[in-house]
Structure 1
Amino acid sequence: MTTNATTPTLAPPARIGKAAVGALGLLALSTGALESVVSPTIPLLERELDMSQSEGALLSIVLLITGALVTPLAGKFGDRYGGKRVLILLMAVVSAGGTVSALAPNLPVLLLGQVLQGAMVGALPLSFIVVRKHLPAGESKVAIGVVSGLFVGGGMVGMLSAGPVAEQLSRHWMFALPTMAVVATTLLVHRLMPADPPGRTGGAGIDWPGLLLLSGMLVTLMLVLALAPEAASQPLVLAALVLVLAAFVTGWVRVERRAASPMIDLRMLARPAIWKACVLTFVICLGTAMAVYLVPQLLDERGDGYGFGASATEIGLFLLPGAVAATLAGPLGGMGDRRFGSRAVVTTGVVTMAVSLAVLAAVHTEVWHLVVGKALIALANGLCVTAMMTSTATAVDRDDTGIATSLILVSRVLGYAVGGQLGGALLTAATPSGSDVAAESAYVTGFVIAGVVTTLALFVTRTMRKGVTA
């Protein structure tokens, strides 16, 4: 038997050092900060841009939606054309989005900036592609953990600093400062990171039908969750949206199964290691997002016998231990996965989070209860998500790293979006007409639901392989 073509032998990629990994970490820190500046400043933006509450809700989720759409494309292109090349191009789009947001005079322009900034969510799988191609499996786990942890830490930095910067300088600077950091760290990555060889070449083009159907599915899901508290007053509208959502889901699954080059490879999702990681990530992030939303609201609450009436600056200080814990969780998760295996790390994180949520539901009469509980939840979430990322990234072929990790990131985005919306729906439903104070029972119910949902993850973790690297 003869072969029709000879495959050229490619030289192995150059090994990267700590400086290059550090540059990727700083880029993750900067993008995480830029991603999170909108959430804590929605009331300020509503006042300055004369936005309605529905417009504010749209502004808070548009980045998540575009990020979920860009992520699988970024991973696929990174696998095909080289992670560094696509990463630099993607960060150019993010920098343009940050600049547009910083200069935005009105809501439509700010929405455009957020759409462009949503490309930043695809930066993580691209970073994983680069790390995986330049480092052996054991070291790449730690490096991926560092990058993931700094992205989470950057998000907390942005959340803590956005309010003071917007109040002391202006809303324009809360976008401008992290955008400058993104530009600087992108140039640093370009200088220190060697080019990685492309993986697959050729193949079919972009799966535009799948992209459009997924876009409609995500937008409709957010509308369903946003209207859920008003179901009694608008039952027909909600029912119609649910039917539209079901149609989008059905159509998207059919298109992806038949596409020559699907946007999200459902065949990979059928692998036990991948679907378990996606389910765990979604469940864990849903529980985390409810706590992330409810804790600051409870700190700000001024109810009769509950809540603390804390200012924005005080809330930022109370959340600082959680920011530190989230930052440390990345490298700890990577090292723990390497030392003990992914199952042990994820199980530890799930148990820690479930217990913390249950305790918060029962005891939340002192500020330190919320501070400690939030820090433990942030630590547990970081351990779980990092372990999912590292185990998934190293469980597939090198050329599939971006596609596999993008599935985890999409699950993360969906979990946060759904959890945040559920937390908001609980408080909205428990706030009497004409009042701005939610009932204490809504917070208790929210923490209990989050804890129960998180506990369900144990049914999946017990079926995981230990995943200890020799």
Structure 2
Amino acid sequence: MNGTSTPESVSSPARVGGLSIGALGVLALALGSLQSVVEPSLPLLQRELDVSPAEGALIGNTLLITGAVVTPVAGKLGDRYGGKRVLVWLMAVVSAGGLLAGLAPSLPVLLLGQVLQGVMVGVLPLSFILVRKHLPAGRSQVAIGLVAALFTAGGMVGTLFAGPLAEGLSWHWMFALPTIAVIASTLAVIRLMPHDPPVRSGDRLDWPGVVLLSGTLLVFMLGLVTMTDADASRSAVGLVVVAVVAFGTGWVVVERRASSPMVDLRMLAKPAIWTSCLFTFIMTTGFGMVLILLPQLFAVSGDGYGFGADTTAIGLLLLPGAIAGAVSDSVGGIAARRFGPRPVVIAGAVVTTATMVALVSLHDAEWQPVLAKVLVALATGAGTTALLAGTATAVEPKDTGIATSLLVVTRVIGVALGAQIGGAILAADDDPMTGRPTESAFVTGFAVAGLVAALPLVVVLITKKGARS
């Protein structure tokens, strides 16, 4: 790949119809299924692999770590060389990872498969590049919401079928079957979606910026595991902090001097961008805590708390929340077009905070955490998708991939941080006789999630006061 452009590469992109967008949506559905199978089967995997809840959170977070590192690079490459071309290459890596996880004989091999699968997170900004280039602005916001909704709907499918596959066949099949669907839908995208023209540029790709940003994200994500481990030493935590600061500072210095930076820091400094990243991070951190706490509560069987559910039952209990998440993503794109992102974020923060506060004392009947998952999924999905759709159409078309990838990465980091915090809270307060988390651990987790969920309201209040002054 070089910086020159052929006449074909700078021609106007072809307008696409429903079949092309549908192919992208089906691919998002398959990827969502592959990503979500770990959540309901986490207690089963912990038993099969003999790991703690905190270590179990790492199984899902391994995928998120790769996603955080790869996504901004994928978005930038998609902006520069064309979204479809980069998307197809990523799908080859995801397919290899899914097949490897499906054949994994041990935990290290499973984690390697999750590492390769993690590049799927980069597919969302690439899909948004294609949507933005091939559709007018109004329709592209709705299409972005649709693709995000189908990715979440895939989570519903994976949540529903992970248990029956793991218990009826083996846990290997819950990775293998969605991977086959990913391969088939990728072939459909290759056939139906036209190539999008790359951006004309005579500048070299900012590889030092790519390496430094990737290093910053990698160290940060791995540091989450260290900092949320109850046995972590102060020196290890301090080393992680120093490494993140060093990589991050180096990246900022390089980007400020680069003639064609990976991320234009002036774009990142715009209030619409940095506030969207901040709101997304806060909302997904609280949601990540819910994702780890509820399956553990359904699975545990304690004295007066928990429900002793197996993997299939956990999937069914989480299914309404997955449906709500899919609906909320599609609503988020429409709401962003009609009301703007901020009112949707405020409403989501109020709903999530109230839900977590209620769950602190009301978690002794199955319908209560099920309803809580529905409400939190609706609030978080609508808010984060509204922010994503608003950002995608607020920047220049040439920056769509990198701008949306920053939000997707922020989303990933928030979920990973929330999951690790939730796992650490459960691990720090377990019953020494049974090794199971105590009821007070769940209460603490719900209370902390509620406090986090309320933070967007504080940010809105502060920014309003700042704007008035």
TM over 0.5: yes
Distance 1:120 1:79 in 2: 17
Identity of aligned residues (%): 55
Conservation of the 8 A alpha-carbon contact between 1:301 and 1:309: yes
Output aligned runs, 1:250-399, within 5 Å: 250-399=249-398
Report the secondary structure of 2:284's partner residue: helix
Q: Which residue of 2 aligns with 1:451?
A: 450
Unpaired stretches in structure 1, ≥5 consecutive residues: 1-6, 465-470
Q: Which residue of 2 aligns with 1:107?
A: 107
CA-atom RMSD in angstroms: 2.5
1:349-374 Cα distance to aligned partner (Å, 9 max, x none): 22221211121123222211111111
Distance 1:142 1:135 in 2: 10
Output aligned runs, 1:60-75, within 5 Å: 60-75=60-75
Displacement after TM superposition at 1:135 (Å): 1.0
Displacement after TM superposition at 1:27 (Å): 0.5
Displacement after TM superposition at 1:409 (Å): 0.5
Displacement after TM superposition at 1:197 (Å): 1.4
Distance 1:223 1:157 in 2: 28
Displacement after TM superposition at 1:417 (Å): 0.6
Distance 2:443 2:219 in 1: 31
Conservation of the 8 A alpha-carbon contact between 1:322 and 1:376: yes
Conservation of the 8 A alpha-carbon contact between 1:81 and 1:201: no
Displacement after TM superposition at 1:215 (Å): 4.7
Conservation of the 8 A alpha-carbon contact between 2:10 and 2:199: no
Could you state the TM-score of these two structures normalised by the residue count of structure 2?
A: 0.90
Distance 1:52 1:422 in 2: 14
Output aligned runs, 1:196-207, within 5 Å: 196-205=196-205, 206-207=207-208
Distance 2:212 2:237 in 1: 24
1:354/1:201 CA distance change after superposition, 3 Å: same
Unpaired stretches in structure 2, ≥5 consecutive residues: 1-6, 465-469
Q: Which runs of 4+ in 1 moved over 6 A?
A: 50-55
Output aligned runs, 1:128-147, within 5 Å: 128-147=128-147
1:107/1:264 CA distance change after superposition, 3 Å: farther
Distance 1:321 1:141 in 2: 26
1:50/1:357 CA distance change after superposition, 3 Å: closer
Distance 1:242 1:81 in 2: 35
Displacement after TM superposition at 1:141 (Å): 0.8
Q: Which residue of 1 aligns with 2:4?
A: none
Report the secondary structure of 1:344's partner residue: helix
Distance 1:300 1:56 in 2: 14
Q: Which residue of 1 aligns with 2:34?
A: 34
Letter of the 1:266 counterpart: L
1:133/1:316 CA distance change after superposition, 3 Å: same
Could you state the TM-score of these two structures normalised by the residue count of structure 1?
A: 0.90
Report the secondary structure of 1:438's partner residue: coil
1:26-67 Cα distance to aligned partner (Å, 9 max, x none): 110101111222344345445656778886554332211111
Aligned residues: 455
Distance 1:367 1:340 in 2: 35
Displacement after TM superposition at 1:152 (Å): 1.5
Letter of the 1:30 counterpart: A
Distance 2:240 2:407 in 1: 26
Distance 2:64 2:367 in 1: 31
Output aligned runs, 1:226-237, within 5 Å: 226-227=228-229, 229-231=230-232, 234-237=233-236
Displacement after TM superposition at 1:415 (Å): 0.2
Displacement after TM superposition at 1:162 (Å): 1.9
Given candidates 221, 225, 228, the residue that maps to 2:227 is: 225
1:226-285 Cα distance to aligned partner (Å, 9 max, x none): 32x235xx4444444444444444444444444445444433221111000000000000
